[in-house]
């Protein structure tokens, strides 16, 4: 059974279309990175998946309709929407008590175990904690829930690099197993490249690119082309070309590695580079279409 399945998912705010009839299927046990520029519709799509906003089209999350069954869905799914949403008046022990009181799958001892590894004290109020500690606390609470789906929307926004690294490390080491599904959006794409099993690019409310990391690694290659081979390299139809320190870096889709090795240094591109390539090609194509 797919964890998330959307068909023709659409959401408009007045005349602005935030999510434009997307089809989406996320299988169980995947870690999907949802990547897109600001205002691309990522958060709106996630809000629809979590039952926080009404939508048009068909949407099924863990076998439920999120909009009408949000509270039941939250027994099996949980999310961190933003680092700032933990209520500032709450004390750490109150959060633990409350979670244990209302959540059937919350393991209090586990949460306390995670917290013991941090400097967070049980008597502290959220407002007394630093931004990084709030994120640690929220993650500890969420990881102690035996959920099938975890949605993270910019979970590390505003955190310094140490906390960001820690965040994803503990998510992978202490939480993820093959039966859980994680959907994450972030602007710091490089940091989650090794974490993901799938990537999806979203732009202007549409899914513009969708593939697994295995496919990504086997399909895309980036070559720092030696100047004498540039014409030969361009003949192989790169999907994108950029200049770094006066040298051309060309991005290829489905071109043999041996063929490229003759032209320069070959490496796997970063998700960010592919993202730029896909988006710039898309806007180029759109302009071509209107002419």
Partner 1 sequence: MSAPSNTVPGSPLESQVTAPAVITASRRMYWSVRRELWEHRSIYIAPLAAAAVFLLAFLTALTLSPAHRHEPLDIPYELAAALIMGTGFIVGIFYSLDSLYGERRDRSILFWKSLPVSDLTTVLSKFAIPLVILPLLSFAMAVVTQFVMLLLSTAVLAGSGLSVGTLGARMSFFHLSLMLLYHILTVHGLWYAPIYGWLLLISAWAPRSPFIWAFLPPFVIWGVEKIAFRTSHFLGMLQYRLTGPEPSTTARSGNLMEMMSALTPVQFFSNPGLWVGLAVAAIFLAAAVRLRRYREPI
Q: Does 72 bind partner 1 (CB under 8 A)?
A: yes
Q: Whole-angstrom Cα distance, residue 269 to residue 8?
A: 31
Distance separating alpha carbons of residues 84 and 159, to the nearest angstrom: 11
CA 29/CA 16 separation, integer angstroms? 34
Interface residue with partner 1, options 8, 39, 63, 227 (CB under 8 A): 63
Compute φ and ψ for 87, nearest 5 degrees. Answer: -60, 130
Whether residue 6 contacts residue 58, with contact meaning beta carbons closer than 8 Å, is answered with yes
- Alpha-carbon Rg of the chain, whole angstroms? 21
- Considering the complex, state which of residue 95 and residue 263 has its C-beta at the smaller distance from partner 1: 95
* Residue among 14, 71, 162, 245 that touches partner 1 (CB under 8 A): 71
Contacts to partner 1 from residues 251-290, by CB under 8 A = none
Min. distance of Cβ 40 from partner 1 in angstroms?
18
Position among 99, 168, 176, 275 found at the interface with partner 1 (CB under 8 A)? 99
> Using CB under 8 A, which residues numbered 197 to 256 contact partner 1?
none
Helices (H), 130-270: 131-143, 161-170, 189-192, 213-219, 230-235, 257-261
- Position among 9, 26, 45, 86 found at the interface with partner 1 (CB under 8 A): 86
Tell me how far, at minimum, the Cβ of 11 lies from partner 1, in Å: 12
- In the complex with partner 1, the residue whose CB is nearer, 52 or 276, is 52
Q: Does 90 bind partner 1 (CB under 8 A)?
A: yes
Q: Which residues within the stretch 165-194 sit at the binding site for partner 1 (CB under 8 A)?
A: 179
Give the range of 93-101, 155-163, 214-222, 251-259 binding partner 1 by CB under 8 A.
Answer: 93-101
Contact window for partner 1 (CB under 8 A) among 17-25, 88-96, 183-191, 206-214? 88-96
Reference 77, options 198, 180, 195, 5; nearest CA is: 180
CB-wise, 174 or 210, nearer to partner 1? 174
Q: Mask 27-46, x = binds partner 1 (CB under 8 A)?
A: -x------------------
Question: If residue 117 lies in a helix (H) or strand (E), which one and from where to where?
Answer: none
- Ramachandran sector of residue 118 (left: φ over 0; alpha: ψ -120 to 50; beta: rest): beta
- Told to check if 110 binds partner 1 by CB under 8 A, we report no
Query: Residue 76 or 273: which CB sits closer to partner 1?
Result: 76
> How many helical (H) and strand (E) elements, i.e. helices and strands, does the chain have?
11, 13
- The residue among 214, 213, 228, 221 whose CA lies nearest residue 261 is 221
By rule CB under 8 A, what string of x and - marks binding of each residue 128-167 to partner 1?
------------------x-x-------------------
Contacts of 245 (CB under 8 A, 6+ apart): none
Query: What does the alpha-carbon distance between residue 277 and residue 291 come to, in Å, rounded to a whole number?
Result: 21
The residues that touch partner 1, with contacts defined as CB under 8 A, are 1, 28, 47, 50-54, 63, 70-75, 78-82, 84-91, 94, 97-99, 101-105, 146, 148, 179
């Amino acid at each position: 059974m797919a964890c998330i399945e959307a068909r023709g998912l659409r959401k408009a705010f007045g005349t602005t279309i935030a999510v434009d009839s997307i089809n989406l299927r996320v299988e169980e046990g995947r870690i999907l990175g949802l990547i897109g520029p600001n205002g691309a519709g990522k958060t709106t799509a996630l809000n629809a998946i979590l039952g926080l906003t009404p939508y048009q089209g068909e949407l099924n999350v863990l076998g439920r309709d999120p909009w009408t069954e949000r509270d039941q869905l939250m027994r099996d799914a949980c999310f961190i929407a933003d680092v700032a949403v933990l209520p500032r008046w709450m004390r750490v022990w109150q959060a633990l008590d409350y979670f244990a009181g209302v959540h059937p799958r919350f393991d209090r001892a586990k949460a306390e175990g995670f917290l013991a590894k941090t400097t967070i004290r049980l008597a502290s109020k959220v407002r007394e904690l630093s931004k990084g500690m709030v994120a640690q606390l929220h993650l500890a609470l969420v990881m102690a829930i035996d959920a099938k789906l975890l949605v993270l929307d910019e979970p590390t926004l505003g955190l310094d690099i140490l906390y960001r690294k820690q965040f994803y490390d503990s998510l992978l080491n202490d939480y993820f197993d093959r039966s859980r599904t994680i959907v994450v959006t972030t602007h710091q794409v490089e940091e989650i490249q090794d974490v993901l099993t799938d990537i999806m690019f979203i732009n202007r409310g549409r899914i513009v690119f969708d593939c697994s990391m295995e496919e990504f690694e086997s399909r895309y290659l980036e070559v720092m082309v030696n100047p004498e081979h540039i014409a030969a390299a361009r003949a192989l139809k790169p999907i994108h070309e950029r200049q770094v320190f006066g040298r051309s870096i060309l991005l290829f889709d489905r071109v043999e590695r041996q063929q490229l090795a003759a032209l320069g240094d070959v490496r796997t591109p970063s998700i960010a580079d592919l993202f730029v390539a896909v988006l710039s090609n898309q806007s180029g194509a759109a302009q071509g279409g209107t002419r």
